[in-house]
Amino acid sequence: MATFKKHIHAMSAYKPPLDGRDPASHLLLDFNERTLPVSEAVTQALVEYIHAGRLQMYPAYADVETVIAEYCGVKAEQVMITNGSDQGIDLIIRASCSPGDEAIIPSPSFAMYHQCAKVENLTVIEPTYTLSEGFPLAGILKAITSKTRIICVANPNNPCGTGVSREAIAQILAAAPHATLLIDECYFEYSGLTVCDWVEQYSNLVITRTFSKTWGLPSLRLGFVVSCRENIQALLNVRGPYDINQLAIVAIRAALKNPAYTHDYVAEVMQKAKPALEQFLTCHHITFWPSSANYIWCFPPNPKALNEALAAAGILVRPKPNAQGEIGLRVTIGTVAQTERAMAVFKQHLGV
Ligand SMILES: Cc1ncc(COP(=O)(O)O)c(C=O)c1O
């Protein structure tokens, strides 16, 4: 006899297409990851830790929040580390909502918001992003009711890359003081968009960030939440004491000692490779969503064939349908050379 909650059985799992992803044989432009390995200093710190004979101990994080807080320009008491930002999203939704409450999750967006909302048996309202208007601010403001408990906004959004202005965020905070506004700044280092400086001012503002993307460490799973002290104290009551593994902490400490390694990569992606791809798409009349992140969601003719041609050339991208069911390809932007490699396949496909 099934003893789990009925609505949990009725859900479907979030299963990203991870099969066959091998950086030795493929250029991975399908998960918005960093396309170059981490620095030698990070690898060395991990190797040294493994050889230091401490793997049998439970993790201890000491003052890592202080280091992260310094990086973000907030206080240590306003930071909580999590097992990837996925865990932060889950904890924030669990701490904010009860079954039957309403969640506003603009669509399309990152799948975890929906998944976590469904686990809590929330009613999900989905205002839609559009190519012409971008972020559905009016739709969100209109959807706010007395039952709204969580509003999830990725800034910039995935898959469309849409950035959200501080003015729009301020309007939502003011319109829904009774709801948590989750601002997911997963791609912050690419976009430069943040409201971390507002956490003291707005008690309903909770931000998630990660070391998975720009910092290149998704395999180790380290994210963090930034919010006012009271919210962080409450979230610590929900998170387990050992949810983050020690190797993640070792790697992040080493990475943060040399931020230039990350910032140089970001500069190449955002200032060179991305404008080149945008120019190429514009020049060949391929529709794409304006993006503030390290990926572009574009709608070439015959996307299925192009996706296959890219795969045959050893390049993986991510097909994603829009609200009308048209398939677009979300292409992660890497270095200039990697982006040129992808554009060469585009050119062949277009016959130009
Ligand atoms: C918008 C957004 N938020 C969060 C995540 C998950 O990040 P993490 O690896 O920190 O769990 C992703 C991953 O693709 C994402 O696109």
CATH number at residue 251: 3.40.640.10
pLDDT bracket for residue 18 (50, 70, 90): confident
Beta strands in 165-278 (DSSP E): 180-184, 205-210, 223-226
**Predicted local confidence at residue 44, as pLDDT:** 97
d(CA 49, ligand 1 centre) in Å? 27
**Calpha distance 228→121 (Å, rounded):** 27
Same domain, 14 and 50: no
The mean pLDDT of 158-182, rounded to a whole number, is: 98
Substitution candidate for ligand 1 out of 33, 158, 226 with most atoms within 8 A of CB = 158
In a domain, 276, yes or no: yes
d(CA 299, ligand 1 centre) in Å? 23
In a domain, 1, yes or no: no
53-110 confidence digits (pLDDT tens): 999 999 999 899 999 999 999 999 999 999 999 999 999 999 999 999 999 999 999 9
Cα 255 from chain centroid (whole Å): 19
Q: Which of 220, 236, 258 is the last residue of a domain?
A: 258
d(CA 136, ligand 1 centre) in Å? 21
Same domain, 82 and 151: yes
d(CA 184, ligand 1 centre) in Å? 8
**Which value, to the nearest 10 degrees, does the dihedral of the CA atoms of residues 199, 203, 204, 207 take?**
30
Substitution candidate for ligand 1 out of 91, 210, 318 with most atoms within 8 A of CB = 210
Looking at ligand 1, which atom is closest to the CA of residue 32? 14
Looking at ligand 1, which atom is closest to the CA of residue 222? 10
**Atom 3 of ligand 1, nearest CA residue:** 186
In a domain, 127, yes or no: yes
In a domain, 136, yes or no: yes
d(CA 53, ligand 1 centre) in Å? 32
Q: Is 30 helix (H, G, I), strand (E, B) or coil?
A: coil
Q: With 90 as the cut, is the pLDDT of residue 225 above it? A: yes
The mean pLDDT of 168-172, rounded to a whole number, is: 98
pLDDT bracket for residue 20 (50, 70, 90): confident
Q: At 300, which helix (H) or strand (E)?
A: none
In a domain, 240, yes or no: yes
Substitution candidate for ligand 1 out of 86, 211, 245, 291 with most atoms within 8 A of CB = 86
pLDDT bracket for residue 1 (50, 70, 90): confident
CATH of the domain at 287: 3.90.1150.10
Total count of domains within the chain = 2
Same domain, 168 and 264: no
Ligand 1 lining (C-beta closer than 6 Å): 32, 84-86, 110, 154, 158, 184, 186, 210, 212, 218, 223
Give me the percent of the chain exceeding a pLDDT of 90.
Answer: 97
d(CA 186, ligand 1 centre) in Å? 6
Same domain, 33 and 72: no
d(CA 280, ligand 1 centre) in Å? 27
Looking at ligand 1, which atom is closest to the CA of residue 89? 4
Same domain, 64 and 30: no
In a domain, 297, yes or no: yes
d(CA 86, ligand 1 centre) in Å? 6
Looking at ligand 1, which atom is closest to the CA of residue 109? 1
140-166 confidence digits (pLDDT tens): 999 999 999 999 999 999 999 999 999
Same domain, 185 and 278: no
Looking at ligand 1, which atom is closest to the CA of residue 83? 11
Same domain, 25 and 94: no
Q: Which of 233, 258, 283 is the last residue of a domain?
A: 258
In a domain, 57, yes or no: yes
C-alpha dihedral sign at 6, 12, 14, 20 = positive
**Calpha distance 200→74 (Å, rounded):** 9
**Predicted local confidence at residue 19, as pLDDT:** 82
d(CA 183, ligand 1 centre) in Å? 12
Q: How far apart are the first and last CA of the chain?
A: 61
Q: Which of 258, 286, 307 is the last residue of a domain?
A: 258
Tell me which amino acid residue 38 is.
V
316-331 confidence digits (pLDDT tens): 999 999 999 999 999 9
Same domain, 232 and 279: no
Half-sphere exposure of residue 144: CA atoms within 13 angstroms, side-chain side: 19
Substitution candidate for ligand 1 out of 112, 206, 217 with most atoms within 8 A of CB = 112
pLDDT bracket for residue 220 (50, 70, 90): very high
Are β-strands 287-288 and 148-154 bridged in parallel, bridged antiparallel, or unpaired?
Answer: unpaired
In a domain, 107, yes or no: yes
Same domain, 15 and 117: no
**Predicted local confidence at residue 105, as pLDDT:** 98
Domain holding 326, by residue range, is: 6-38+260-350
Same domain, 222 and 325: no
**Predicted local confidence at residue 231, as pLDDT:** 98
271-309 confidence digits (pLDDT tens): 999 999 999 999 999 999 999 999 999 999 999 999 999
**Eight-class DSSP state of 200:** T
Same domain, 52 and 174: yes
Comparing CA positions, the residue from 229, 187, 191 lying closest to residue 211 is 187
Tell me if 307 sits within 8 A of 317, measured CB to CB: yes
Looking at ligand 1, which atom is closest to the CA of residue 156? 1
d(CA 337, ligand 1 centre) in Å? 25
Tell me if 232 sits within 8 A of 203, measured CB to CB: no
Q: What is the 3-state secondary structure (H, E, C) of the chain?
A: CCCCCHHHHHCCCCCCCCCCCCCCCCEECCCCCCCCCCCHHHHHHHHHHHHCCCCCCCCCCCCHHHHHHHHHCCCHHHEEEECHHHHHHHHHHHHHCCCCCEEECCECCCHHHHHHHHHCCCEEECCECECCCECCHHHHHHHCCCCEEEEEEECCCCCCCCCCCHHHHHHHHHHCCCCEEEEECCCHHHHCCCCHHHCCCCCCEEEEEECCCCCCCCCCCCEEEECCHHHHHHHHCCCCCCCCCHHHHHHHHHHHHCHHHHHHHHHHHHHHHHHHHHHHHHHCCCEECCCCCCEEEEECCCHHHHHHHHHHCCEECEEEECCCCCEEEEEECCCHHHHHHHHHHHHHHHCC
d(CA 316, ligand 1 centre) in Å? 18
Same domain, 123 and 33: no
Residue with tokens 């929906």: 114
Q: With 90 as the cut, is the pLDDT of residue 50 above it? A: yes
Global pTM value:
0.97
